[in-house]
Copies of this chain bind each other. A is one copy, B any other.
């Protein structure tokens, strides 16, 4: 089968580079176009990113020039789809233009997450919401699918199997890595040897996005979940991996073995479809007394292509109707580029993007 041509929008930032790395050798997709704004446009990718190795991998750096972020350039490349790591303000205008041009947009940007026609998708959790994409394109084939905030992406994977046990309310305190703010988003002066108990807009996003993802399709839109969420967000001097301290309250005291079994045994559509970026086990339950840790566990997930896509859970403590635990997810993989790619893989397998060929 021929691979589907894909663009990466905003290719020079930390998330954009992860998209480029993940597309290297991907079984469904091939890179056809790179865009970036400002000084990068017109340069070779290697020159635009300065330090290719900074993404942490050893992927080949594509010998490709970077275009300015314009819909015409993307369309001219033959791309049928685009992965967007654009800043929200730029995504607001460009992503709909691409949709109008018939392109399937998988966006990590926040701009359209609450558009009532746009799914906010985590395939292990609400694959059915992908149906919303069909209604967007007015017959031209284009649509926008978004993935959530980097905290929410990991959180909902862990909450999904708990819902059936009567989950009622969740207290979340986050320990967020500096990569979550982008390459220059956190100044060393502010965070070295420190913890900053605030990330602008983050707590609001966590509450609102979780409610949409866990909500039910209702007519064309989504009726938000009524799960109570109490988020408190901090930035910590860690490079990659968002740790979360979770206090889960249930309507009734869950059985300890059932609860562990629900987490460990959790498998969902991406696993059944064996999507390339889907981890064999979406949740890895750790039995050690001091895990998960960002440094040791951020890249959890198998096979190789799914590294950083598994969500690690540990230190489960059950007491009556309450269960406290820690969870960890890689913020630029499960929480950004990897999540978006998984959405695209699901869309391909659901027939929303034709794999030409034969």
Which residues of A are at the interface with B, using a C-beta cutoff of 8 A?
14, 51, 53-54, 171, 173, 175, 178-179, 183-198, 200, 203, 230, 232, 234, 236-239, 243, 245, 247, 288-297, 314-315, 317, 319, 322, 324, 326
Q: Give the chain B neighbours of A230 by CB distance below 8 A.
A: 247, 319, 322, 324
Main SS class of interface, A: mixed
B175 touches A234 (CB 8 A): yes
CB distance from A191 to the nearest CB of B (A): 5
Given the interface contacts A194-B295, A197-B315, A232-B326, does A188 sit within 8 Å of B245 by beta carbon? no
**Besides A14-B189, A193-B193, A198-B290, 16 other A-B contacts (C-beta < 8 A):** A51-B296, A171-B324, A178-B189, A188-B188, A188-B190, A188-B237, A191-B192, A193-B239, A194-B238, A195-B243, A195-B294, A197-B291, A198-B315, A232-B324, A234-B245, A245-B245
B197 touches A237 (CB 8 A): no
CA distance in complex: A196, B291 (Å): 7
CA distance in complex: A171, B232 (Å): 12
Q: How many copies does the complex hold?
A: 4
Q: Give the chain B neighbours of A184 by CB distance below 8 A.
A: 187, 189
CB distance from A252 to the nearest CB of B (A): 17
Q: Give the chain B neighbours of A294 by CB distance below 8 A.
A: 193-195
B187 touches A293 (CB 8 A): no
Q: Give the chain B neighbours of A292 by CB distance below 8 A.
A: 197
Q: Which chain B residue lies CB-closest to A182?
A: B189
Contact of A188 among B178, B198, B200 (CB under 8 A): B178
Contact of A179 among B179, B189, B243, B324 (CB under 8 A): B189
A175 touches B236 (CB 8 A): yes
CA distance in complex: A218, B52 (Å): 47
CB distance from A20 to the nearest CB of B (A): 17
Q: Pick the most buried of A193, A197, A291: most chain B CB atoms within 10 A of its CB.
A: A197
CB-defined A-B contacts under 8 Å, sample of 30: A51-B288, A51-B291, A171-B247, A175-B175, A178-B192, A183-B189, A184-B189, A186-B188, A187-B188, A188-B188, A188-B191, A188-B192, A191-B192, A192-B193, A193-B237, A193-B239, A193-B295, A194-B238, A194-B294, A195-B294, A197-B290, A197-B291, A197-B314, A197-B326, A198-B289, A198-B290, A200-B289, A230-B247, A232-B245, A232-B247
